Structure 1
Amino acid sequence: MLLNQSESTNNAIGFKGNKSTTLTEFFHIFGATVDRWRYQEDQNEFSCGNSMPKSDFPMVGMIKHAASVYTLTLFRDFEKEFKYAMGCISTIHHMEDNFIGYKVQHESWPDHTAKHVAFDPSTNSIACYCRNFEESGWLCFHAIRVLHVHSIINIPE
């Protein structure tokens, strides 16, 4: 059966199939899993709408803004990126017109290439060469670091 070929599927649905698992059994188990996921999503949405998440960081600035605009799951992901950003070294690489170019490197990862981040203080716009924000709308820790250096407290639109 296909179930044994994909451990990631088994982990995602919380079920370990075997050679005797029928397609009908798998379908019922998968349906129950989807129902469980939807229920959990509804619970998370309710919690997000009725409370502010807790954080190890002080609930000020960008962390506070993230808590107000993201779901709990996305907030936790943002919190990890923010933590990485606080471990970064940012140096001005160049300045031209309205843009300030930074090189951002995590100090614990010297083997990783520093990322270039462009910041326009007149509009508070930011672009990182990893293109995470432009492609997915998700701020990478490189961009968060530069925004933090400039005391920007709101996540860009």
Structure 2
Amino acid sequence: MDCNKLVEDRTPELEMEFNSEEDAYKFYNNYAFKTDFNVCKDYLNKDKDGVTTSRRYSYCKEGVKRKYEGMLIDYNFFGDVVTFDTTYKINKEYHPLVVFVGFNQLRQIVIFDAALMYDETIDSFKWVFGTFRKVMCGKRPNTILTDQDHAMAAALSVIMPETFHGLYTFHIRRNFMKHLGNHYKKNSDLPYMFGACMYEFEEVEQFNRVWEAMVKKYNLENNKWLFELYQIRDKWFFRHFNRVIDDKRHNELITEYEMRQKLPMVGLRQTPVLVHAAETYSPTVFVAFQNEYDESTAMVILRQQDAGIFVEFAVMRYDGGSERIVVFNRNDLNVHCSCKKYENEGILCGHSLKVFDTVGIKTIPLEYVKRRWTRRARAGDCFDR
């Protein structure tokens, strides 16, 4: 083939032939320059005599490549919990732009990936989730949060069956206005009752009692959306996570941290657990931990029951509130609190800190320090989490 003609045309075609590998490389370099991309030599195949039988060339736009590499690094550090959002429909064809997002050790939003979908069918979602997992080197998130879309749920059950599928409360709140907005008037307490069910109650009995009262008060027994939401209530990702990724809460923590820097750190040097936390956690997470420590100083042990290696503590604020059960293991020094704050947010609750203080543990046990929240969250190999 006339290579000079190829250089002039600069348009690749199927079944093109070249006189040599070097001619092919020059042609694709010229084409890449025209289209504002770079070309690089990829894998090479040779026969037993050492003759090249095939060569693969890869294109990349350098800025896109750098951004992708940054997203991959962020995902490997902070991709344990991912929110999948389909609310962006800004193109003229009204196709959904979907994004995979999470948050870093500073509680700032990070974007892991994005895709433009043609439609929102099960097959399309399978392609999106499958492609996402492939480009992220096969690593799946521990938890993925979505809206209540049935096609999305069906695709996730196939592509990421081991991943916990939760519902992001932002979508639930938005759908609340869509499906129940006409059920309340000015000064109605319906949104407050619904919000309390989403965020305030940790005890099942208390949640069910308020939910049933809300349904009865506003005659919502036949509301299909509300009924289906209740059926999948185990997928609601309650209070702690949603408040962590809420921008307003993040800004409050930043402000609180800056304010505390201007105040005398009374007693900090005499409080080993706070010294340890300040040295370990990122600034915003340290403030959240310090708030829990402050709560622990207002806690009292109501009773203590020994059962071999396990000790059960009943803990409550001195001025009232919910009673929590903390189980302490004497052998491995592990704790488990009925409030489940550590499981949901990744920092110890005031109840557990009260028990640790009671049994003489004055620093944070290493198994309760999540690396994603530390100052060194990005240190070391991002694949070694």
TM-score by length of 2: 0.26
Q: Distance in 1 between matches of 2:302 and 2:311?
A: 10
Which whole-Å deviations, capped at 9, do the CAs of 1:102-157 have from their partners, x for residues lacking one? 0110112x1x2210000112211111011111233211110111011112122131
**Matching of residue 68 in structure 1 with residue 255 in structure 2:** no
Contact 1:65 1:153 in 2 (8 A): no
Provide the identity percentage: 23
Distance 1:87 1:55, change over 3 A: same
State the distance in 2 between where 1:125 and 1:106 align: 22
Structure 2 vs 1, CA of residues 74 and 99 (structure 1 numbering), >3 Å: closer, same or farther?
same
Q: Higher RCO, 1 or 2 (CA under 8 Å, sep at least 6)?
A: 1
Residue 6 of structure 1 is matched in structure 2 by none
**Which digits, 9 at most, give the CA deviation of each residue in 1:31-80, with x for residues without a partner?**
xxxxxx79xxxxx9xxxxxxxxx733332321111111101111111111
Instruction: Pick the aligned partner of 1:57 from 237, 253, 267.
Output: 267
Runs of 4+ with >2 A deviation: 54-60
Q: Give the whole-Å Cα distance in 2 for the aligned partners of 1:83 and 1:98.
A: 29
Distance 1:91 1:138, change over 3 A: same
Match of 2:308 in 1: 97
Which position in structure 1 is the counterpart of 2:353?
144
* Letter paired with 1:144: L
Work out the CA distance in 2 between the residues paired with 1:114 and 1:87. 13
Residue 161 of structure 2 corresponds to none
**Distance in 2 between the 1:55 and 1:122 partners?**
35
Name the amino acid aligned to 2:294: K
- Quick one: which amino acid aligns to residue 280 of structure 2? V
Deviation at 1:90, TM superposition (A): 1.1
Cα gap change, 1:145 to 1:61, in 2 (>3 Å): same
* 1:153 alignment partner AA: K
Q: How many residue pairs end up in the alignment?
A: 106
For the residues of structure 1 that align with 2:339 and 2:324, how far apart are their CA atoms? 7
Gapped regions of structure 1 (runs ≥ 5): 1-22, 24-36, 39-43, 45-53
Question: Following superposition of structure 1 onto structure 2, how do residues 89-128 of structure 1 map, counting pairs within 5 Å?
Answer: 89-108=300-319, 110=320, 112-128=321-337
Pair member with larger Rg: 2
Partner of 2:295: 84
What is the identity, as a one-letter code, of the residue corresponding to 1:55?
M
- Amino acid in structure 2 at the alignment position of 1:92: R
Which runs of no fewer than 5 residues in structure 2 stay unpaired?
A: 1-89, 91-107, 110-253, 255-263, 368-385
Indicate conservation of the 8 Å contact 1:85/1:144, yes or no. Answer: yes
Residues in 1 aligned to 2:361 and 2:306: alpha-carbon distance in whole angstroms: 19
Tell me the amino acid that sits aligned with residue 330 of structure 2.
P
| Deviation digits for residues 76-104 of structure 1 (CA, Å, limit 9, x no counterpart) | 11111111100110133321121110011
Q: Which residue of 2 aligns with 1:17?
A: none
Cα 1:56–1:79 change in 2 (3 A) is farther
Local SS of the residue matching 1:102: strand
SS in structure 1 opposite 2:304? strand
- 1:133–1:118 distance in 2 versus 1, CA, 3 Å: same
SS, match of residue 144 in structure 1: helix
Cα distance in 2 for partners of 1:143, 1:57 equals: 21
SS of equivalent to 2:354: helix
RMSD: 2.3
Query: For 1:81 and 1:131, how far apart are their aligned partners in 2?
Result: 13
